[in-house]
Structure 1
Amino acid sequence: MQGSVEDIEIDLLLEAIYQFYHYDFRHYARASIKRRLLQARDRMGFSSFSAMQEKLLHDPAMLPGLLNYLTVQVSEMFRDPSYFRALREKVVPHLKTYPSLKLWVAGCSNGEELYSLAILLREEGLNRRAMIYATDINPDALQAAEAGVYPLDQIRKFTENHQKSGARSSLSDYYTADYGRAVFDKRLRERVVFSDHSLVTDAVFAEMHLISCRNVLIYFDRELQDRAIGLFHESLARKGFLGLGSKESLRFSGQAAGFSDFVREEKIYQRRDLS
């Protein structure tokens, strides 16, 4: 009985967040969203999800803190280096044939993936012709991404990943150390647009040559995954590329016919025309 009451409370809380604040978590993977809500409830000092809902509806100042629990901000620069090596070796030659480029980092979190791509583009001589769109639903994450500041103790791992990705320079060329922090060169974001965008509710906003959305779809249920993948297909230019996370796949998606494998082992796909 207790479990069913808790599940009803969660449904009502997610509906309240959607109706009142227009953030839609109703189709996120249930086990994942429940785990994060439990953590938020306990750490924020509420006795129940109903108490959380009451507070949330009457105190908008609570929303940013809750969003930090509901959105995932765990990443690292050049995460899965073989993915970035595949971009460098297999995708970049195609990107070099375009006079101008648009790339989308969907679910950019605190910006690690964004800066990884910006550095790769600079190393490959594409930074001057590329515009990057970095989007997320969490305003705190977008602010952190725009700042480009990371704990210095993470840099060793970032550097190791960068070298494994086929780096053509040293990661230290792109940041300065300052009081235990690594502050990344603001020139890396000269051609970056940071924007609030939801894969759940928002539409296409530009035609892209490469979309990198890694380790986001694993938090969605099947219906929402299909919506997001359909959005990516609609957003991509003819023969554009989509990169997913290592635990994600198009294999069981209703949108799979819109893509062909490009680098199968690295979950890099190419848009296929359906007509």
Structure 2
Amino acid sequence: MNRNNSISTDFTILTDGSSIIFEDSSAEKQTRQDNRARQTLPSTGTIVQACFQKESAQDKTGLAIGSNKADQVVITKIVPNSIVFQQAQELQPGMQLLSINGVTLTTVTDGVSPLQKAAQLLMGASGNIMVVALVPPTMRRQRRLGGGNHKVYKVLKWGLCLRDATNSQGKPIVVIHRLEYHAATHKELSAGMIIRRINSGTCAHMNASKIAKLLEDQRGGQCKITVEKPATGKTTNVVLGHRDTHNFRFRTSNWHRYF
């Protein structure tokens, strides 16, 4: 499979009601698709393109998506060793999906929300799938865990993955390694941020293991964390929702699991 980031012109996808039709592409059709996509591109952030392949419509891509308060389609999870994980390493949780196979995901069309549109495309498509995504300005590109000697502590109920690190003075700190599920939709959060407080309680002198345990022991549907951006030293309070609370939103089509 060709792993470069160029737009494939082997086919195009047209939507006709609930059906998805594959047909040969022409340069003219591709140009029209690109022009439509550019009209809805945001003015800030970095655009990335990725391509992956499904042998059949029944295959799972390993991509989980959700929608934030602005009704934007956001990647919330990428399953390790899945199709997307192996073939589309440009994609990361927290990125906004702008289009799939030339179909834009930034507007409501005929009563179909961007999230519903994305779900239909991911479930119904087979063959090469071309994705255009936005890296928000507040999001730092996350490197996937691939070896290394640091251990990552996952607190899935809050969508946080933490690890130990050191700051520029060599002092130990705990940083966000990766964001998943609903946490990935918070624009205020990004990988590399330092965990400072949990529900107004300080995390000073705690390692990643202790902070993960503290987060796991939190009760209720919400948890407030204070994070610091290393580059500026600015702190921000973010209220996270419990994963079980968000399961209700999955049933109301605001969130989707894996496709």
TM-score (norm 1): 0.26
Structure with greater proportional helix content: 1
Indicate the structure with greater strand content. 2
